Amino acid sequence: MWILAVSYGVHLLATAVWLGSMALLLFLAGSAMRQGQVLAEPWRRWQRRALLWGNGSLVLLLLSGFYQMTNDSNYSGFLVIDGVWAWAMLLKHVAYAGVVAVAAAWQFWLLPAQERLGLLAESRPQLAQVEAEKLRQQERRLLWLNVGCGVAVLVLTAVITAV
């Protein structure tokens, strides 16, 4: 019983950290994009820090959520879809996978592209400016996709809790 209580506590704290890192990226990105500072080092440093905290919280959410799910009376087994709870849980996992995919794209594609663009700006500033606009659009799309997946996770959590 105490392990489940600790799991709920860790899950709630990890959710708060995850939402905080997502909100930080969203609000700081808006500011950086308006000021044209997406390639600036302070912004990239904030991105890396927020992703570090976000990734850590996603791991904790995965572990604590798995423990909670398998101890729930509604859980009937792996991929046994036998009711509203199971459907909501399946969709929540799909949304969670979306959050993880966005974090991976951000980390392994967007941040390296921004760093390469910073190097390009030193030698070919006009070309870098065109590419920077493309990256800003892609970053904006990733941000809103992340928000959409995050909201889906929270809404589906509400459904799961209500059932």
pLDDT at 129: 82
pLDDT digits (tens, 9 = 90+) for 97-130: 999 999 999 899 988 988 888 888 888 888 888 8
pLDDT at 9: 95
pLDDT at 67: 95
Residue 143 — pLDDT band, cuts 50, 70, 90? confident
Q: Return the SS3 of 131.
A: helix
For tokens 């440093």, the residue is: 45
> Any idea what the Cα angle at residue 105 is, between residues 117 and 45, rounded to 5°?
55
Residue with more model confidence, 36 or 152:
152
- Show me where the domains of the chain are located: 2-162
Angle between helices 111-123 and 41-70 (to 10 degrees): 170
Q: What is the mean pLDDT of the chain?
A: 88
**Residues 158 and 79: beta-carbon distance below 8 Å:** no
Identify which of 52, 33, 32 has the alpha carbon closest to the alpha carbon of residue 42: 32
Mean pLDDT over residues 72-83, rounded?
Answer: 93
Residue 46 in this model has a pLDDT that exceeds 70: yes
Identify which of 68, 56, 62 has the alpha carbon closest to the alpha carbon of residue 20: 56
User: What is this structure's pTM?
Assistant: 0.86
**Residues 38 and 135: beta-carbon distance below 8 Å:** yes
**Residues 95 and 149: beta-carbon distance below 8 Å:** yes
